[in-house]
Structure 1
């Protein structure tokens, strides 16, 4: 038997189907690391992503293409702690079996051993009695069977059976290896799911298909009373995201996340990573990802929902939630009909606070982050709020002037999707700029700045440097209008010189009388002036 592209495709589909049939039983075993009852579901979704990728391969795809596709799809589609680890298992197997020259029992044993090493290295603090120890035993059993075979090319059947059998024996021992499993009378849920996956692999290789896939039940007399689960312990949030980042940045990220929480697993490579961690401060975990690279596909789950009760049901109706730090800006958003979530200057709001505000606002909610740093957090808060049944959309407004432009076209009588599209277009059609005063010497894209210099920024990039606020403001405004524009919004900050906005309005009357100007007092601390051009 050769593990060619067709065999990989059959294995992934069979494993996905088997996990689909057994996921409820696996979920019922889930007490470690958190008793949230979703391990079987997470493993099923992870393998389903791999199976879909395998099915999408062209008919002429080879082994390398097949293994690369399933490993990448599992990395992108991994869910939960066990799903992320399983995606690393597929990556390890792909490293070895992706070559037509690497086949047979010896290659399968080598692939499982390599997968075991990679998976264990991905977990910051490996624990025995889990999917890691069962994978290690499967690899050891496969190696022993392969060495006993006279020819590796004919020993793949025995190696596959040995791996599945070794995993099953190790699974039974997990109950005695981990106290929380012993107290609950269960085997490890993630390890049970791995056994199903290896059983499916053995079935495809040997062409011997079981009538059913065994998942050990809870030991008699140990089940909790109906409706009760073990009391959750540890951090309150599961944070997951994909991360585009170089290898050296991921090493620092792991150190940072390890200090924030537990159950840390980071898998991937070649610039793309899947990050999983349990923390109390989900915002800090996301900020750590932002410092390392570009996080995306963020997912934040409240782990203690079973003990804390279900989230408050959302109110009916359409609403807009805007995030801002300044009193004047808060008043502007509130006057336009938005609910405001306040944040400290230079910081993001707590994830729980933002998620609760979104959930309480309505059953159809549009979120305006209004800062690049808040955007990723808003996506995570929206994901959490969606679990409560609401329809949530985050308009990617990176500046307050974009948020105000989006809010200006908001129409609660429109279909939700149409309203979101209109608000997103309005935000995207608004160019934004601002002024700030340099606090220290630095090299910018237009030269060196010194403390006290006034920086004029457009779309986040320094466009000009000068000594006076009014002078720099005129330069920035003229440059922004050079590409056209019909409406200018000027929002003066707390430290703006008296008459700054009015002076700019007078400047525009002389050079661009066709432009409409709106003046506001935002009372923002850091920026003397915010500029929007539509």
Structure 2
């Protein structure tokens, strides 16, 4: 069934394109996954591209929903700039994998042009041409070591073909699609691993699907044929074998890193140059995209902890995802299975109250007590690492404000021959989640990956009392108000601790969860834990609750949702 075409660039065109691109990637996802051999034959490029665009679609729909809820009148819609920025932001925060991260930068590059103030340029084919050119250039700049025969080559070819098209959105989109299709067919001749496998580049194939959706947006008709033949007969067996994996599994080649590390990073733009250099020295497939204080970082490394710690040094990493390419087996950089290491490991954690200190100690951790208004210095953390008497130490700062202090302590301990991994926990409840999956008899890297993933999957909140009038993300608070902070930002202002806690908990569980952790401070009102436990039982089936006494911890209540 033909799509009703959009005649020029506007917010509705962005919305239509994103929806059609998601449909196209949904249809092509399995095919793209099957031909994924570069940079790692892990068979997930199609899935990663789909999830990236799905996040962009959700962000654009949210803008339209918000505009309609604002009562702007029937037929009204947001501006092109608003829709384009939402598309780019959604893709950035939802980007998955190497190709998804690059696609997010392509969409961001387009949005930077489409969101300019030059109304006359952005509404027609000229604006689309400029957007495609800037997208290709910015994506190439985001990849530290660009490789030809990849999605970067396909994007550049699309921009070059679009540059000579007629000044009409449909003609520009068709030219970009045709140029990308030709470039995609040529990728096996540019990249030896593709030629050996008999496939085209998976990321490039995904981009061609996205450009086909652009053609359909402006012409009403999807391109009739697939852009490049894929030798399915050669892809039926695991492609990884053709890509150089001797056992045919989706593991990296013998000299490839073992882990994929992805995280969002809040950091000043001038700190990203140093981050790129640091990560480039640790691994490969490095892509850092974003800007204006928010970045998406993707890298393949052997030392996952060091990659996360580099983010801590640059700013505030979160939504950390670490994937082992071995899929159930453990490989060194040379592809050999190592002998199991002798268990000689400790966890050092900063905790905000005596009650939690006891809990962490019972779990085997060495603790450093952080009293309200008295954060520990790096020297105290180094001394705690020494006191742990271990060759390997996992350090849990449990406070966003301690990340630089903890990084300095970790660096000092390393000069003394101690292997230290810093997990950037921002709350004691994230530390509890990490400690719950800690297994000292595992290999160090495996243990760090598991603990980091558990901490990153835990949202955190706290309730405190405002000391003075102040502006917050939730409005103006007065001295004595109860503040509900979620992930570090004030989200709720109330007058009653229990009612405010219920509101905070409802907001956190709206996004799902399996386990709620409550840590009560010594000033928490009597009965608040019982009330919250009852709330979880009544409103959220299959969600468990655990309660701890934190003692004198500063916050009235800490909440964690895993």
Check whether TM > 0.5: yes
For 2:319, the equivalent position in structure 1 comes to 297
Confirm whether residue 175 of structure 1 aligns to residue 188 of structure 2: yes
Matches of 1:219 and 1:13, distance apart in 2: 28
For 1:248, the equivalent position in structure 2 comes to 270
Matches of 1:305 and 1:98, distance apart in 2: 42
Return the offset for 1:207.
1.3
Deviations 1:442-463 (A, max 9, x none): xxxxxxxxxxxxxxxxx9xxxx
For 1:71, the equivalent position in structure 2 comes to 88
Confirm whether residue 119 of structure 1 aligns to residue 136 of structure 2: no
> In 2 relative to 1, CA 324–392 (structure 1 residues): closer, same or farther, beyond 3 Å?
farther
Of residues 205, 217, 232, the one that matches 2:252 is 232
TM-score by length of 2: 0.60
SS in 1 for 2:252: coil
For 1:279, the equivalent position in structure 2 comes to 301
Contact (CA 8 Å) 1:25, 1:215: kept in 2 or not?
no
Matches of 1:23 and 1:221, distance apart in 2: 18
> In 2 relative to 1, CA 431–215 (structure 1 residues): closer, same or farther, beyond 3 Å?
farther
Return the offset for 1:218.
3.1
SS in 2 for 1:144: coil
Of residues 19, 22, 29, the one that matches 2:28 is 22
For 1:128, the equivalent position in structure 2 comes to 148
SS in 2 for 1:35: coil
Matches of 1:258 and 1:168, distance apart in 2: 31
For 1:506, the equivalent position in structure 2 comes to none
Matches of 2:291 and 2:124, distance apart in 1: 27
Return the offset for 1:117.
0.6
> In 2 relative to 1, CA 105–396 (structure 1 residues): closer, same or farther, beyond 3 Å?
farther
Of residues 97, 114, 132, the one that matches 1:80 is 97
Matches of 2:223 and 2:177, distance apart in 1: 12
> In 2 relative to 1, CA 138–335 (structure 1 residues): closer, same or farther, beyond 3 Å?
closer
Confirm whether residue 11 of structure 1 aligns to residue 11 of structure 2: no
Return the offset for 1:322.
9.0
Return the offset for 1:210.
4.5
Return the offset for 1:284.
0.3
Of residues 547, 550, 553, the one that matches 1:431 is 553
Matches of 2:271 and 2:422, distance apart in 1: 24
SS in 1 for 2:147: coil
Matches of 1:245 and 1:396, distance apart in 2: 30
* Aligned positions of 1:204-215 closer than 5 A: 204-210=217-223
Confirm whether residue 31 of structure 1 aligns to residue 60 of structure 2: no
* Aligned positions of 1:140-219 closer than 5 A: 140-145=160-165, 149=166, 152=167, 155-210=168-223, 216-218=229-231
TM-score by length of 1: 0.62
Task: Report the structure number with the largest CA radius of gyration.
Answer: 1
SS in 2 for 1:243: strand
Deviations 1:203-226 (A, max 9, x none): 101111346766742364465469
How many residues are treated as equivalent by the alignment? Answer: 378
Of residues 448, 452, 455, the one that matches 1:380 is 452
SS in 2 for 1:419: strand
Contact (CA 8 Å) 1:243, 1:295: kept in 2 or not?
yes
Deviations 1:452-479 (A, max 9, x none): xxxxxxx9xxxxxxxxxxxxxxxxxxxx
Contact (CA 8 Å) 2:91, 2:107: kept in 1 or not?
yes
SS in 2 for 1:289: helix
Return the offset for 1:431.
2.1
* Aligned positions of 1:402-417 closer than 5 A: 417=543
SS in 1 for 2:313: helix
Matches of 2:250 and 2:57, distance apart in 1: 33
- For structure 2, the 5+ residue unaligned runs are 1-6, 68-75, 240-246, 332-344, 367-387, 396-408, 411-418, 426-431, 440-447, 459-512, 520-532, 557-562
- For structure 1, the 5+ residue unaligned runs are 310-320, 355-360, 370-375, 398-410, 433-458, 460-483, 485-534
Contact (CA 8 Å) 2:144, 2:280: kept in 1 or not?
yes
For 2:371, the equivalent position in structure 1 comes to none
Return the offset for 1:247.
1.2
> In 2 relative to 1, CA 64–253 (structure 1 residues): closer, same or farther, beyond 3 Å?
same
Matches of 1:396 and 1:278, distance apart in 2: 36
Return the offset for 1:158.
1.3
> In 2 relative to 1, CA 198–236 (structure 1 residues): closer, same or farther, beyond 3 Å?
same
Of residues 266, 269, 272, the one that matches 2:291 is 269
For 2:48, the equivalent position in structure 1 comes to 42
SS in 2 for 1:431: coil
> In 2 relative to 1, CA 396–275 (structure 1 residues): closer, same or farther, beyond 3 Å?
farther
Return the offset for 1:430.
3.9
Deviations 1:233-285 (A, max 9, x none): 21011111111111111110000000000000000111111111000001001
SS in 2 for 1:239: strand
SS in 1 for 2:53: helix
> In 2 relative to 1, CA 214–20 (structure 1 residues): closer, same or farther, beyond 3 Å?
farther
Contact (CA 8 Å) 1:367, 1:395: kept in 2 or not?
no
Return the offset for 1:73.
0.7
For 1:419, the equivalent position in structure 2 comes to 545
Contact (CA 8 Å) 2:282, 2:301: kept in 1 or not?
yes
- 58-67 or 168-177: which moved more? 58-67
Return the offset for 1:165.
0.6
